[in-house]
Amino acid sequence: MARGMAANAALHKRPVRTICTAMSRTKAGSPHDPRGKERFHEERATNTVASAQPDLEAGLLAIRDTVRTLKPRPGVYRMLDTSGDVLYVGKARSLKARVANYTQVKGLSNRLQRMISQTRAMEIVVTNSEAEALLLEAQLIKRYRPPFNVLLRDDKSFPFILLRSDHAFPRIQKHRGARRAKGNYYGPFASAGSVNKTLNALQKLFLLRSCTDSFFNNRDRPCLLYQIKRCSAPCVGRIDEDGYASLVSEAKDFLSGKSSAVQANIEKQMAKAAADLDFETAAMLRDRLRAATFIQGSQAINAQGVGDADVFALAAKGGQVGVQAFFIRGGQNWGHRAIFPKNTGEIEKSEVLADVLLQFYEEVPPPKTILVDRDLPEQELIAEALAEKAGHAVAISIPQRGTRRKLMQQASRNAIEALERRLAESGTKARIHRELAEFVELDEPPQRIEIYDNSHIQGDNAIGAMVVASPEGFEKGQYRKFNIKTAQTNDDFGMMREVMERRFRKLAEIGRDEEEDEAGTRPTQQGKGHEAVWPDLVLIDGGKGQMSSVRNSLAEMGIEDVPLVAIAKGPHHGREGREVFHFPDGREKTLPVNSPLLFYLQTLRDEVHRFAIGAHRQKRSRAITASPLDEIPGIGPARKRALLLHFSTAGKVRAAALEDLRRAPGISAVVAQQIYDFYHAGG
């Protein structure tokens, strides 16, 4: 079983050899599903082997063709379907032996037989070692998200605390994403809330600045953070460079696990200040000591002596799997998170946990110690691959006694409780989706709901927004913004028409070119992104006018079978619970004010409203900071800065004579002529 994870970016630099087999000419049936690729494969995976026997033979033929070209070398293989989409990614110590195993159908599980029945081609990458293959396999799984691999939800990255080192007075801040800035990164933290609480306490404890460099460079007096004793005000010289460096050193020690030594040092300084009758300094040190005590007292678990470690425990119930992860850094608990992997059916739980580890550490640097609650297949190989990624030794073990054993027991309890909550929530969500299907008159609960709204101020900086929801929650990777281009100012209906045309134009073309399958479902093209995925329900924030605009816009494109509902606030505008739901045929419905379905629909409406307003504010902020000089061809940031420094305003640049423009620093005679001609063309 291949490990589902994402790979080390350094692998791109290593030479690999790719072998691609020709796709089998045998064409399988291709029922397309309007709910996207993952559900398409899940529904195909429920078919019996007997009904897929011709497809199984075609898949075996493609695999046998591949085996003939393989050698006993380590590497990664990909199985592709008729559309060229990746079904499965696996790694092997010996590619020839591993791929050949798939031709022994009788020894394979039903899941693997279903996978083979959909396979029509394979792609092979040879690597230098098995550990390298493991990392490369992870990269490909993250990129393609194959339906037969164990997958983690593609969620937000984990937050870190960054203590920068590219300034004389380093800044401490929260950080997400790529680690490009120079400095020390501490984490991961389980959530933004946990990192914010820790940052607030660290600011009180070490008085390090959190402001941006531009804010820092333009201060002439201390800001509010200095007044409330959360910054030492290095921007205005209230602390010198050596004193600030001492605070930075203490912060590094504290975040690296030497908190007891830091506290002892602060206590010693406080006692000395009190003995010297410097009560103001003593009071400040007392407050810092309280902040250190708060950080340690806020730990939900005792992890003293553990150092840097992650703890993983797995629970299984009702056909679902949950994994609880605790993050311990420097003996401090930095939070925990529940992980619910997908596609775990018919897979051993130890293999699922191994897959979770490998995917998890694609985004997070592995610590030196990883504690698990069971033996993992190829545990030594996984440790070797993670060590290669981290640049230091990584040990994976099952704790047997002491503090580590207690940590594992607590993680196991949390895993069970989190999974039970998940199952209860899933039952509630399933019931709400069934009620939604009945309310909007669908044949089955919707798997993809698209919600639309517009945001603008008197037509300026208009933005259309689409958010997507599924039974598992909001799919934030599918959100989309539309810069309104053609609609008239203040024409909400025209804006909604433009959004619909841009969203559904490609779908209309696909729908005209292809026929429905035997099941009567609308076809889609796999692997083309959300532009080629049909929604099961479109929810519009608006009333009769918005509904009419959307209905007419779709009808002009020949689309008449997309379920539409508009949600308006009703006669008592602004009062929650009085929403009126408008249907394409003119009917109106309401829901009881205490209905769980109403609360759910309000949540969908509020999310698209939040997203639309946020996108509008970003666009408006960019417009406010825009300059008329941006419109001049050939004028980049450096020349624009030189012009503004010389002339002080864009208006003076416009009014300047050609000779004045030539005298501006950094402006050549050719550029000066371009600027002059831009403002005086036809004059």
pLDDT band at 627 (very low <50, low <70, confident <90, very high): low
Say what the pLDDT of residue 4 is: 38
The predicted-structure confidence for 517-564, as pLDDT tens digits, reads as follows 433 444 433 334 556 688 999 999 888 888 988 898 888 888 888 899
The candidate with the shortest Cα–Cα distance to 324, out of 340, 300, 308, is 340
Give dist(CA 42, CA 345) in Å, integer.
11
Say what the pLDDT of residue 7 is: 39
The predicted-structure confidence for 256-303, as pLDDT tens digits, reads as follows 767 667 777 777 878 887 887 878 778 777 877 776 666 555 544 566
**% residues pLDDT > 70 (the chain):** 81
3-state DSSP assignment of residue 320: strand
Q: What CA–CA distances, in Å, run from 466 to 428, 474, 522, 547?
A: 25, 11, 22, 15
Give dist(CA 375, CA 390) in Å, integer.
22
Give the angle subtended at the CA of 237 by the CAs of 236 and 241, to the nearest 5°.
130
The candidate with the shortest Cα–Cα distance to 408, out of 263, 301, 308, 509, is 301
Helix axes 110-118, 53-67, angle to 10 degrees: 80
3-state DSSP assignment of residue 505: helix
Torsion from C-alpha of 615, 617, 622, 628, nearest 10 degrees: 120
- Domains delineated in the chain: 9-144 (3.40.1440.10), 160-297 (no CATH), 309-422 (3.30.420.340), 449-616 (3.30.420.340), 628-680 (1.10.150.20)
| Low-confidence winner among 37-41, 188-192, 441-445, 580-584 (lowest mean pLDDT) | 37-41
10 vs 94, which has greater pLDDT? 94
3-state DSSP assignment of residue 276: coil
pLDDT reading at 108 higher than 50 = yes
Say what the pLDDT of residue 295 is: 59
Say what the pLDDT of residue 322 is: 93
pLDDT reading at 355 higher than 80 = yes
Say what the pLDDT of residue 21 is: 43
Q: Which of 117-126, 304-313, 488-497 has the highest mean pLDDT?
A: 117-126
Q: What secondary structure does DSSP assign to 89-112, as a single string?
A: EEEESSHHHHHHGGG-GGGS-HHH
Helix axes 110-118, 37-44, angle to 10 degrees: 120
**What average pLDDT does the segment 477-499 reach?**
79
Q: Which two tokens stand for residue 266?
A: 């602060």
323 vs 660, which has greater pLDDT? 323
pLDDT band at 362 (very low <50, low <70, confident <90, very high): confident
Whether residue 233 contacts residue 206, with contact meaning beta carbons closer than 8 Å, is answered with no
H helix or E strand, kind and range, residue 360 = helix 349-363
pLDDT band at 380 (very low <50, low <70, confident <90, very high): very high
- For residue 370, the cross-strand partners are 310, 396
Mean model confidence pLDDT for the chain:
80
pLDDT reading at 449 higher than 70 = yes
The candidate with the shortest Cα–Cα distance to 7, out of 89, 74, 68, is 89
Task: List, in order, residues 6 or more apart from 27 with CB less than 8 Å away.
Answer: 82
pLDDT reading at 48 higher than 60 = no
Say what the pLDDT of residue 8 is: 41
